[in-house]
Amino acid sequence: MTTLATSPDTLAGASVLVTGATGSFGQRFIERLLQMPSGPSRVVVFSRDELKQFEMSRRPEFEDRRMRFFLGDVRDKDRLKRAFEGVDVVIHAAALKQVPAAEYNPFEFIKTNVLGAQNVIECALDTGVSRVVALSTDKAAAPINLYGATKLCSDKLFVAANTVRGARSLRFSIVRYGNVLGSRGSVVHAFLARRAQGVLPITDERMTRFNITLDEGVEQVLRVLRTMAGGEIVVPRLPSFRVVDLARAVAPHCRIEIIGIRPGEKLHEEMITPSDSFRTARLDQEYVILPSSPIWDEARYLTERGATMVTPGFHYASDTNDQWLGVEELRRLVDAHVARGAQVAPS
């Protein structure tokens, strides 16, 4: 069985590849890697958009001799395998994510989010990769839209991959969290763009969401890289907020217009379902959904991590959370992480 000891120097001198690296998370994650005093020896950007790679390469924070830019698509297994040569650590962030687009183009999402995930797994098995962390989403928990269904399938693939690695020193784990504050396409940007019009559309006044910043998401993945056993789904413990409070924080003088929930949209985010609760442990900073197959010693894992199993029937959802952000806290977060120095209007 896999050793459960932590590895604080996992990234020191390592070669790290990030799929979907020109996205919001990928760029911030790589920026953090390059700042590490004992960081990786090589960082590979793997993505399919040549313009975004070019623009990224011209930014001062990425002008580093360790950077490599590799054009490719996770759908193309041969190209992906070539990119994996000499790589130690893979962060799989590539995905198609827009819920409405998934409903109209389902197989395109399957090809990227499911078949692409399997390509990542097979290429890791065929090369010298030692650790793979895949990013998931709250929408993979009890999915009601195709995007969530593809990510649930992806999660299952990465968990199961740990059972076929044989004698390889290779682990696959997953980090699951919800919408990232200020990431590309987030509701914050929509509110900021519309506040000059005086009206902000909200789908439902009861709607709640978990909150995580890009920097918090990056630190969560780095923490998992140090402690991963392989096969677990890690869910950070996060505060919730009401979407109407976010609207008031961004544009307090705007009128709110209720437009109704869109197809495939949930009223509240959920990251751990009651069915998951029987395999979920609680730690200081996170919950961990344990693999159902005996990949490693569960009792030892719980002891070493200081973890306890949650109560059967536990449901981790944004509306039943015990941590909440108010309007003022949201305003400070938006100003610090999204507005880029442009003050969010006070009430």
The catalytic site residues sit at 139
DSSP for 206-224? T-EEE-EEHHHHHHHHHHH
Helix (H) or strand (E) holding 69: strand 67-71
| Residues contacting residue 137 through CB under 8 Å, at least 6 positions apart | 97, 147, 148, 151, 176, 177, 178
Tokens of 115: 């078949």
Antiparallel, parallel or unpaired: β 15-19 and 42-47: parallel
Measured from the Cβ of residue 327, the count of other Cβ atoms closer than 10 Å reads 18
The owner of tokens 């006070």 is 346
The pairing of strands 180-181 and 212-213 is parallel
Q: Which residues fall within 8 angstroms of residue 195, CB to CB, at 6 or more apart?
A: 250, 251, 254, 345
